[in-house]
Amino acid sequence: MSLNINMDEIVAIDFHTHAEEPCNCHRDDGYNEFQAGMAAYFRNPAGMNGMLPTVQETAAYYRERKIAAVIFGVDAERETGFHRHNNEEIAEICAENSDILIPFASIDPAKGKMGVRQARKLVRDYGVRGFKFHPTMQGFFPNDRSAYPLYEAICEEGAIALFHTGQTGVGSGMKGGMGMRLKYSNPMHLDDVAVDFPDLTIVMAHPSFPWTEEGLSVATHKPNVYIDMSGWSPKYFPPIFTHYANTLLKKKMLFGSDWPAITPDRWLKDFAEINIKDEVRPLILKENARRILKI
């Protein structure tokens, strides 16, 4: 699949959107409760009403706003019991909307050699540009050597590795946090990955709270590590996070919303009101993502 995005017309690239609704199957038992917890955490009325957007609806929403969007599901079958949303189906819908959607995929590293084979096929046959990992939701430390064959395949295929970092809305407020362990998503674990895979483009999602400074440190020290600014309204960014976005990391910060939990309308409105230099805004909103996506 080739992208047909008109970058002259696109005003921004949202590096972090979720395909929350299954493409061609029903929701699993417990999925409604999980989404209700997420909706309460993010104060998202759509999630509370069970009316989350499909991938096609997401494409229409973003096309109307002239914003391109990286979109993915999360393969967390092993830890959550929920069927993963089919990577191939998401990529096929992206191909139908190649003017606006950029396909990423998700594979649990525990799938071993099968996961490696799937990753290569998704890049070669479906045009997938990157892979989303959620260490807390998938239950693994990113620097666990068992994940390295998958990273190697992603690197060799020229794709991007996107990692959730910091606290998560997944399981928030639910009994036992739905079994989610926050320790897996400390961004310092990605320092090892960046060392061992210096040619792999790594994106750390979110401000990494409560390890914000660790995340900034890794991104500052390792040239192959970037940060997407999703999951938080910009008005709540820690001052040090905004400072680095304005200075040392101005070419390594990426706009991301966390759709549908946070809409780009809300994120961009709040971003316009924080102290970001005029010359830095276009880098964060479009140019940095365009460069690493090779659009």
* pLDDT tens digit sequence for 68-117: 999 999 998 887 776 667 999 999 999 999 999 999 999 999 999 999 99
Amino acid of residue 73: G
Q: What is the mean pLDDT of residues 56-79?
A: 94
The per-residue pLDDT for range 151-196, each reduced to its tens digit, is: 999 999 999 999 999 998 776 777 887 778 999 999 999 999 999 9
CATH number for the segment(s) 12-293: 3.20.20.140
As a whole number of Å, the CA-based R_g of the chain is: 17
In angstroms, rounded to a whole number, what is the distance separating the alpha carbons of residues 83 and 81? 6
What DSSP letter does each residue of 158-190 carry, written as one string? T-EEEEE-S--STTTTSGGGGG--GGGG-TTHH
pLDDT band at 28 (very low <50, low <70, confident <90, very high): very low
Any idea where the domains of the chain sit in the sequence?
12-293
Q: Where are the alpha helices (DSSP H) in the chain?
A: 31-42, 45-48, 55-65, 77-80, 87-96, 112-126, 135-138, 148-156, 189-196, 212-221, 239-246, 264-271, 281-282, 288-293
Structure tokens at 239: 């001052």
Residue 217, sorted as left (phi over 0), alpha (psi -120 to 50) or beta, turns out to be: alpha
The pTM (predicted TM-score) of the whole model is 0.91
